[in-house]
Amino acid sequence: MKKEQRIVIKTPEEIQVMREAGQILARIIEELKCSLKPGMTTADIDALTEKLITESGVVPAFKGYRGFPGCACVSVNEEVVHGIPGSRVIKDGDIVSIDVGIIYKDFYSDTAYTIPVGKVAPKIQKLLDVTRNSLQRGIDKACVNNKLSDVSHAIQKYIEKHGLAVVREFVGHGIGRNLHEDPEIPNFGPPHKGPVLKEGMVFAIEPMVNTGRRETKILDDGWTVATQDGKPSAHFEHTVAITANGPEILTKC
Ligand code: MG
């Protein structure tokens, strides 16, 4: 984690804009979740994402970001995150991680789900359940006066309790007028460290969990991150505001 954290505090008016952005994004991802079918390519999923974003009157946050070519990151099975949409065909029993970001009234929103296609093996269902639940455990700690690493620690503890592995090389982040703001939010670490959480902070919390070993590699396309051992991985993400009443999931469906 970087030493100097410059965490931008959002005003209630800015949070309201981010709430609206989150609701638009939640509808887009919900539509994507319902549309996934065997036989689609990851490029088909990206094309549908672009259509839904355009129809919603918002701007894709990822397209062109540091040269990324898609509106969605689409990562299948052993791919962890940052999958470039292309010719890979989705098969029955696959899991597909879809990560989408939008810009609405100058604010970013970011969410990701790993979606089972058809019937998946029990071990894969466990991976999805543990990853989704670990995100919720982290969100539950995103409260005023907790410390940042309380979020990280809760995520790691839950995942490792279930015998799965936490990816270390990629982390969550602050979000607002920029896609990636301080602080970095690792999905691991000891509790009670880092900055004190305050009302008006907004975080994209995003555990990435592997069924095998935790190590990852970047494929030759320069973007797609996959597990080194080729075993499946899952990724769930929400944009979350810290409010006086506790954490608020802005991208909740
Ligand atoms: Mg993110």
Q: Give the distance (Å) from ligand 1 centre to CA of residue 111.
A: 7
The C-alpha atoms of residue 105 and residue 1 are separated, in whole angstroms, by 30
Q: Give the distance (Å) from ligand 1 centre to CA of residue 187.
A: 12
Bridge partners of 185? 172
Residue 106 is predicted with a pLDDT of: 98
How many other C-beta atoms lie within 10 A of the C-beta of residue 41? 15
Q: Give the distance (Å) from ligand 1 centre to CA of residue 251.
A: 12
Task: Give the orientation angle of helix 42-55 with respect to helix 12-35, to 10 degrees.
Answer: 140
Q: Which two tokens stand for residue 54?
A: 């355009």
- Per-residue pLDDT for the chain (253 aa), expressed as one digit of tens each? 556 679 999 999 999 999 999 999 999 999 999 999 999 999 999 999 999 999 999 999 999 999 999 999 999 999 999 999 999 999 999 999 999 999 999 999 999 999 999 999 999 999 999 999 999 999 999 999 999 999 999 999 999 999 999 999 999 999 999 999 999 999 999 999 999 999 999 999 999 999 999 999 999 999 999 999 999 999 999 999 999 999 999 999 8
SS3 per-residue string spanning 99-118: EEEEEECCEEEEEEEEEECC
The C-alpha atoms of residue 117 and residue 63 are separated, in whole angstroms, by 25
Q: Give the distance (Å) from ligand 1 centre to CA of residue 172.
A: 6
Q: Give the distance (Å) from ligand 1 centre to CA of residue 245.
A: 24
Q: Which long-range contacts link 2-5 to residues 24+ away (Cβ below 8 Å)? A: 2/182, 2/183, 2/184, 5/148, 5/182, 5/183, 5/194, 5/195
The C-alpha atoms of residue 216 and residue 202 are separated, in whole angstroms, by 27
Tally of residues, the chain: 253
Q: Give the distance (Å) from ligand 1 centre to CA of residue 244.
A: 24
Q: Give the distance (Å) from ligand 1 centre to CA of residue 206.
A: 6
How is the chain split into domains, by residue range? 12-249
Q: Which two tokens stand for residue 40?
A: 């689609």
Q: Give the distance (Å) from ligand 1 centre to CA of residue 163.
A: 24
pTM as predicted:
0.97
Q: Give the distance (Å) from ligand 1 centre to CA of residue 122.
A: 27
The C-alpha atoms of residue 187 and residue 155 are separated, in whole angstroms, by 6
Q: Give the distance (Å) from ligand 1 centre to CA of residue 105.
A: 19
Cα dihedral 176, 178, 180, 184 sign: negative
The C-alpha atoms of residue 183 and residue 154 are separated, in whole angstroms, by 17
Residue 76 is predicted with a pLDDT of: 98
Q: Give the distance (Å) from ligand 1 centre to CA of residue 221.
A: 20
- Determine whether 192 is exposed, middle or buried from the number of CB atoms within 10 Å of its CB (0-12, 13-18, 19+): exposed
Instruction: Decide yes or no: CATH 3.20.20.70 for domain 12-249.
Output: no
Q: Give the distance (Å) from ligand 1 centre to CA of residue 70.
A: 15
Task: Give the orientation angle of helix 148-161 with respect to helix 122-140, to 10 degrees.
Answer: 160
Q: Give the distance (Å) from ligand 1 centre to CA of residue 145.
A: 23
β-pair type (172-174, 95-104): unpaired
Q: Give the distance (Å) from ligand 1 centre to CA of residue 236.
A: 9
Q: Give the distance (Å) from ligand 1 centre to CA of residue 100.
A: 8
Query: Measuring CA to CA, how many Å separate 137 from each of 131, 225, 235?
Result: 10, 25, 14
